[in-house]
Amino acid sequence: MGKSNAIQKYGYFIGDKFSEEDFFKDVLASCYEKKLLDENILGNIYYERMELLKVKLKYYTKDESSSVMVETAESISQCIDYTIGIYLKTFENIELIIEELKYNSLFDMLKMGQDLINKKILDSKRLFYKINKSKLKVHNYSYNDTIDYGILLFFKEYDDFFAAHETPGSIDYQLYIDNMNYIGIEYIYNYLNNLSLENEFCNNFDISEINRLLKGYDKKCELLLINIFELLLINSLGVIACGKDLNSLNINNLDREYIKNKLKKLTLEEFQEELLKYAKICWKILEVKNEALVMYIKNSTLKVASLIKESIKLNKLETVFISFNKDNGNEMIEYTDGEKMANSKFKKLSEKIQECSLVEDKIELIRNNIKSLEDLVDMLNADCLFEDEYIMYFKSLSKMEITLLSKYIYELSFENEYEKEWYYEFNKYILGLSEEEQIAIGELKERIQL
């Protein structure tokens, strides 16, 4: 869209800021306060908004009812304002917006806003396809779960006609630069655009180096809410500051000492300039041609500058510039189970799952409510899933979750405790995986302590 975060180009309103979420309402409020639209025009606009709401409500009730819940009417009204706001954001300045409000109907604006939303949905789906193609082969639950499940859930549940302002889905993976001011399709488009840029940067590095960097950051990196791009960028800047080759991202104690002595006396402005110099060397070496990615690297470098400078001041550079573990391939993983659900709560949940007709709804209920391995096994024992539903559920699990289940079954199999249907379905699922995947699960299973 043709608008920056603070809408600085709307110089006519000195000091005003229109929110991304309530853009249309903020415009109307400012026009009323500054008397840029007379009362007759504003009255007509508010009347048209009510007429639009009536039309939408007829669609919503399929013209079979004259009443809806207040919350529903308010939500649909928000949807109308959001859709019109998306259209108005395409104008260059406030004067053009005022002209549009004077001479065009809200019905037309709503239609054009809806068209823009539909285009944004298509653009977002193209970005998502690109992200799937460039997905990193890393063991991090939030990254994999967001791409494999959370974003798909947005496209499945997003209602562009009645709830365009809402943002369904399950987006757990944190971007390094994420504008939380957006909602609806605008948020998901910006999220996917930035995630695509982060993936593009990360794919310039060998995946084994990335995984070693993550393990160096934390041995339990699989379970952490981390941003992979951030860790990669920081160590890249450190490697370049030391004059080393980007083929290896490892930074040792001597490197950290060199970086500290080199940068410790610089002012923040000088510090930022120096880091931007390293960032430029970085994208030149990686032969980055995408101008959007270059700008993302620049902005991210400026963002991280204060963190690095403060770490130098506190003599804590080891928390910022990461060293690889000398031998991180065989360390044991001590698994601590989540809190077990109360029996009454578990009973209600299992009944709710059993009542679902769609396996997707069952999976969502399980994912959102069950937080411990013990509860998960109890749920599988409770006949909540049937036949092919088991395989679909197992496909929704992360590698770590599959490994934990496999470990659990393996330990119980010595006691001949399992004759349940899900036990055989799980083994069938494992046998259907590639040999490489089965070996990886087996190796990981040996390192887990339940």
**How much is the pLDDT for 13?**
45
Average pLDDT of span 369-391: 83
Q: What confidence score (pLDDT) does residue 413 get?
A: 47
% the chain with pLDDT above 90:
49
Q: CB 311: neighbour CB atoms within 10 A?
A: 19
d(CA 406, CA 207): 26
Task: Note the pLDDT tens digit of each residue in 265-293.
Answer: 899 999 999 999 999 999 999 999 999 99
Per-residue confidence (pLDDT) for residue 412, from 0 to 100: 58
- Does pLDDT of 334 surpass 60? yes
- Do 384 and 392 meet the contact criterion of CB atoms below 8 Å apart? no
Q: Where are the domains of the chain?
A: 23-116, 204-328, 334-449
Please list, in sequence order, all residues whose beta carbon lies within 8 angstroms of the beta carbon of residue 128, skipping any fewer than 6 positions away: 151, 155, 192
Question: Cα dist. 322→218, 257, 259, 333, 342 in Å?
Answer: 10, 13, 13, 20, 41
**pLDDT recorded at residue 395:** 86
Indicate whether 361 pLDDT > 80: yes
pLDDT-derived band at 344 (thresholds 50, 70, 90) equals: confident
Structure-model confidence comparison of residues 442 and 56, the more confident one: 56
- Label residues 89-105 b or e (16+ Cβ within 10 Å = b): bebeebeebbeebeeee
The answer for residues whose C-beta is within 8 angstroms of residue 366's C-beta and 6 or more apart is 353, 376, 379, 384, 393
- Chain mean pLDDT for the chain: 86
Residue 192 is predicted with a pLDDT of 97
Q: Give the per-residue pLDDT at 138.
A: 92
**What mean pLDDT is predicted for residues 76-89?**
95
Higher-confidence residue: 335 or 217?
217
Please, which pLDDT band fits residue 131 given cuts at 50, 70 and 90? very high
Summarised one tens digit per residue, pLDDT across range 29-45 is 888 888 888 888 888 99
Nearest to 1 by CA among 122, 91, 65, 71: 91
pLDDT by residue (tens digit) across 230-239? 999 999 999 9
Region 1-12: mean pLDDT is: 38
Q: What pLDDT does residue 101 have?
A: 92
pLDDT for the residue 76: 94
Question: Is residue 15 classed exposed, middle or buried when 0-12, 13-18 and 19+ CB atoms within 10 A define those classes?
Answer: exposed
59 Cβ neighbours under 8 A, 6+ residues apart: 161, 162
Taking only the tens place, the pLDDT of each residue in 387-407 is 888 888 888 887 778 888 887
Residue 264 DSSP class: T
The pLDDT tens digits for 205-223 are 999 999 999 999 998 888 8
The candidate with the shortest Cα–Cα distance to 74, out of 88, 63, 60, is 60
The dihedrals phi and psi of 83, each to the nearest 5 degrees, come to -65, -45
What confidence tier does 331 reach under pLDDT thresholds 50, 70, 90? Answer: low
Q: What six digits make up the tokens of 133?
A: 């193609």
**pLDDT of res. 302:** 96
